[in-house]
Structure 1
Amino acid sequence: MNKFEIESCVKWIEDNNFRTVALQVPDEDLDKVQDLIDILTSSIHDRQIEIFLVGDGCSPCCNDLLNAQYCNAQGLIHFGHSCLSSSSDDNQQTIPIFYVFYQQSLPEDASNFLLTNQDDSKPYCLVFYDPCFRDAIEQHSPSSRFIFSKISSPHSTDPLDFSLYGRSANIPVPLDPSNYSIVFISHSKASLHNFALYFYAYDFRSFPSDSSISSKKVLSKRMYAIECARNASSFGLLTSSNSLLNLSTTILTLLDHIKKLFDQHNRQYYTYLMNTLSIAKMNNFERTVDAYVLCSSCTESIWLSPDYKQFNIPLISINDILHAFAKDDDSLSLNYLFDLRQILKTLKPIDENEKNENEENNALILKNPNALLLQQRDGANRGLDSSHAWWGLQITENISEMQINQSISELKEGKSGIAAGYTNEKF
């Protein structure tokens, strides 16, 4: 039971004088929940406390604030890995959160690298890690070359205070591939994917060594997503209840910015509240949506990685949209990120006076609580010339009457059988 850090949990509850607390425990530890609750209740003195178990309404690494609110919890204790998609520094959560990260020792190859590293190709090495390695990292003494990040995202105007995905570091010189190599010690594949993509232009190394990921591969996936965004005429904005509760101000501001961007470029958009992504749900709107935009916490960006190819409709990120509709049409910036807080900081204001001549209101129109009026996509909205006509697979402007009346070839039965032995094969 040591990994639950019960003494720290009891101190946090007593210091805040909580009487109702929610516990979020990963699935692999559900068999220990009863013992955990018994120890907590017996350790809190002179007080009656109500404890609820939550966590089945979202990804295990996200804070289940929705169910915590349902049980009127005054605080949430989150056990296990966290994506750090929100933190107390954001001042956006509805209730306080206490994290217990299940501290672990460093992978052997990572520990050896930090102790015996001879790779000095860059002046500095910036070390990031998942939260479960925080205590183990703190045992390593900082050096003139190694810079260890911390699990926090402080608000700072100092350009040398770097923050990303809930980690922060004070760096001696500006971040640049010529000055820094990057090390990431991974427990979560989603975190590794996010950091590998952000630092694709750097000398990037991950541990354990068998968890390495190709930065070029994930970057190629994003290039394809940007092209999908440019070619789409109708978008579905995906968000979830827990993401809205964890980062309400950030997500709502980003959604407002994207909608203005779509209005400016005469694109349709629909907003969906979908806590769990699935092909079955998303394909319900296959005829309405050309591409989905993921507007949720950074852990869900794993759905955007090259490992996930099962979605029939392209799934893209907010950053893909911003790159697709950038006015200067420059190449991809040096860093690519899914951190919604960082994206919000980089947004440029939209000049609402710059509109397309054929601008329409492309938002959903709520007619009554049980019916939605959806704008129909037509040739004009897709940029097609209605004067063009089609004959077979060929588009042409002039089709003769003889071609129009031409009979269509009769369909005939073709060869049959399996590829290794057609019944009508001729040699």
Structure 2
Amino acid sequence: MDGIESRYEIPRTAEFLRARAYTRVALQFPDELLKDAAAVARALRRELGGGTKLYVMADTAYNSCCVDEVGASHIDAQCVVHYGHSCMSPTSNLPAFFVFGKAPLDISACCRSLLDCLRESNKPILVLCGLEYAYALDDLKGASVELCKSDSCNSEIQYAEDLCSEMNPSTSPTAEKQFPQPNGSTHNDDLSLHSDDVTTFVNSCCNVEGNTRKYNLGGLTWGISINEKMEDYLLYWIGQDNSAFANIALTFNKCDIVRYDTIANQLSRDVSHLMKILRRRYYLVEKAKDANIIGILVGTLGVAGYLNIIEQMKDLIKAAGKKSYTLVMGRPNSAKLANFPECEVFVYVSCAQTALLDSKEFLAPVITPFEAVLAFSRGREWTGEYLLDFKELITSEKPEVGSKSEEARFSFIKGGYVEDDCPQDDEENSVTSLALADVTEKALSIRNQNNDAILYQGGANSAIEYLKARSYRGLTGEYQGPVPDSVLIGRAGRAAGYSNEKTNSSQ
């Protein structure tokens, strides 16, 4: 039990809950930590006494890295204690306390690897890590300083810090407030996300304060001189090749990056797979420009500002002369999205570390809000900058409907560069062989997957027009032509007594 109390920080968690007089607390565990949930709840109950009710949440509504405010609301929780990996996305309604855990780290081996990078590189080093290793940064810093002194090398190493372990909710992405506590008071301390020295980080990855450029990303914070750029540093990541690392690597894709594998205790310099992801995202942006009907996938109901970005995406799509539909379906997959074949592209509104949804197996591509801004805004070009956090895109300004600008771009439908604002003429003979081959290949692949697949008849500007163009309309019973053999006719009538169901005369 001593291991449980230390690993899950039972005394510190109990102190946090007692200080704020919370009586209904939700404990959120990811799947890999569920085995310890009962032991953690028992240990907390012993510390808190019988006045606090604890509820264990397991299967989260969306992503386990985000605070599950939807699940916590079912038991009227006053606070959520989040265990394990977290994206540290701001909450909307509930305060949260984070226990990241303490993953094992060989300090001496990591320190030697860090100094090897320092000797080989002509750049200063910025050390970043997964939040589960943040506890060891002070020890690593002390060991590297001592080793530098004994080795007579110049120490140009800077360390990031974990931003906070407590979070108060925000009702809007642009205005922060103190959250009222159960006893009627408000609490704000040095660890709170909304304390005076941290509030400026909420709306932007980078902020300038005096002569320092401060960064906040994925729960980590660091600062560099205003005369320096991130490209001047070698980024040294401690941890696994996961979504947190991808968030860092893609956001700072112009920087030199190395990763220290804490399991194998060796350095990895190959991040080419992440650069391939970046190139594919650019391809999806270009493909999304040809879409006419866009589905907005709601991938979170708790991250602060998600309603604002959804409304902004609607305005953006409308200004581009396209139609949008908002879909709430929990965790999206290919089967769920296949129910909306009229949508030619989906915009996934989610936290930064789950925004990159792999859509290779989907019928339609899935893009991020940042990619949607690039695809649907007139005259926008990709400069290489990449953002995964949608809060940095939120603005109070609405795009003008029908705005015009001259822009030549590559169309995957036309198979060449086109002018968006030029009127479409009837010269369909200009369609190249590339476009014809692409359309033919897609049609054959869909046909081979299901011989009874619904054929799309003609162009549609809305879901209603798309439904009318279908050869078979499902539950309405209205169809054109024979019902496919694979369709099974269900029962008719009410559940109390179907029309083809035999009644029991003895009842």
Give the shorter-chain TM-score range: 0.7 to 0.9
Structure 2 Cα separation of the partners of residues 55 and 295 of structure 1: 22
Q: CA deviation at 1:196?
A: 1.6
Do residues 349 (structure 1) and 408 (structure 2) align? no
Report the counterpart of residue 21 of structure 1 in structure 2: 25
Structure 2 Cα separation of the partners of residues 236 and 128 of structure 1: 36
Greater length-normalized contact order (CA 8 Å, ≥ 6 residues apart): 1
Q: CA deviation at 1:274?
A: 2.1
| 1:77/1:97 contact within 8 Å kept | yes
Report the counterpart of residue 310 of structure 2 in structure 1: 255
| Among 216, 227, 232, the residue aligned to 1:163 | 216
| Among 246, 249, 272, the residue aligned to 1:193 | 246
TM-score (norm 1): 0.74
Q: CA deviation at 1:283?
A: 0.7
Give matches, 1:84-123, under 5 Å. Answer: 84-86=88-90, 92-106=91-105, 110-119=110-119, 121-123=121-123
Structure 2 Cα separation of the partners of residues 97 and 232 of structure 1: 39
Do residues 294 (structure 1) and 353 (structure 2) align? no
Structure 1 Cα separation of the partners of residues 75 and 227 of structure 2: 46
Report the counterpart of residue 292 of structure 2 in structure 1: 233
Report the counterpart of residue 52 of structure 1 in structure 2: 55
Q: CA deviation at 1:212?
A: 4.6
Report the counterpart of residue 491 of structure 2 in structure 1: none
User: Is the alpha carbon distance of 1:187 and 1:8 closer, same or farther for their aligned partners in structure 2, counting shifts above 3 Å?
Assistant: farther
Q: Decide which moves more: 318-327 or 220-229.
A: 318-327
Q: Decide which moves more: 288-297 or 144-153.
A: 144-153
Structure 2 Cα separation of the partners of residues 94 and 256 of structure 1: 19
Q: CA deviation at 1:324?
A: 2.0
Q: CA deviation at 1:203?
A: 0.8
| Among 263, 271, 277, the residue aligned to 2:326 | 271
> Match for 2:344: what amino acid?
D
Report the counterpart of residue 224 of structure 1 in structure 2: 283
Give secondary structure in 2 for the equivalent of 1:246.
coil
Report the counterpart of residue 182 of structure 1 in structure 2: 235
| Among 144, 150, 161, the residue aligned to 1:150 | 161
Report the counterpart of residue 127 of structure 2 in structure 1: 127
CA deviations over 1:198-248 (Å, ceiling 9, x no partner): 1221111122145953242121111111112211111111113xx23222x
Aligned residue-pair number: 353
Report the counterpart of residue 225 of structure 2 in structure 1: 172
Report the counterpart of residue 244 of structure 1 in structure 2: 301
User: Is the alpha carbon distance of 1:30 and 1:185 closer, same or farther for their aligned partners in structure 2, counting shifts above 3 Å?
Assistant: same
| Among 230, 255, 259, the residue aligned to 1:202 | 255
Give secondary structure in 1 for the equivalent of 2:113.
helix
| Among 285, 293, 307, the residue aligned to 2:340 | 285
Structure 2 Cα separation of the partners of residues 151 and 30 of structure 1: 25
| 2:125/2:236 contact within 8 Å kept | yes
| 1:105/1:136 contact within 8 Å kept | no
| 2:318/2:401 contact within 8 Å kept | no
User: Is the alpha carbon distance of 1:219 and 1:280 closer, same or farther for their aligned partners in structure 2, counting shifts above 3 Å?
Assistant: same
> Match for 1:282: what amino acid?
L
User: Is the alpha carbon distance of 1:161 and 1:192 closer, same or farther for their aligned partners in structure 2, counting shifts above 3 Å?
Assistant: same
> Match for 2:397: what amino acid?
P
Do residues 8 (structure 1) and 66 (structure 2) align? no
| 1:177/1:203 contact within 8 Å kept | no
Give the unaligned 5+ runs of structure 2: 146-154, 164-192, 201-206, 262-266, 405-421, 434-507
Give secondary structure in 1 for the equivalent of 2:55.
strand
| 2:316/2:399 contact within 8 Å kept | no
Structure 2 Cα separation of the partners of residues 150 and 196 of structure 1: 18
> Match for 1:149: what amino acid?
A
| 2:356/2:368 contact within 8 Å kept | no
RMSD value, Cα:
3.0
**Identity over aligned residues, as a percent?**
23
Give secondary structure in 2 for the equivalent of 1:29.
helix
User: Is the alpha carbon distance of 1:119 and 1:339 closer, same or farther for their aligned partners in structure 2, counting shifts above 3 Å?
Assistant: farther
Structure 1 Cα separation of the partners of residues 401 and 318 of structure 2: 11
Give the unaligned 5+ runs of structure 1: 87-91, 357-382, 395-427
User: Is the alpha carbon distance of 1:149 and 1:310 closer, same or farther for their aligned partners in structure 2, counting shifts above 3 Å?
Assistant: same
> Match for 2:362: what amino acid?
F
Q: CA deviation at 1:112?
A: 2.7
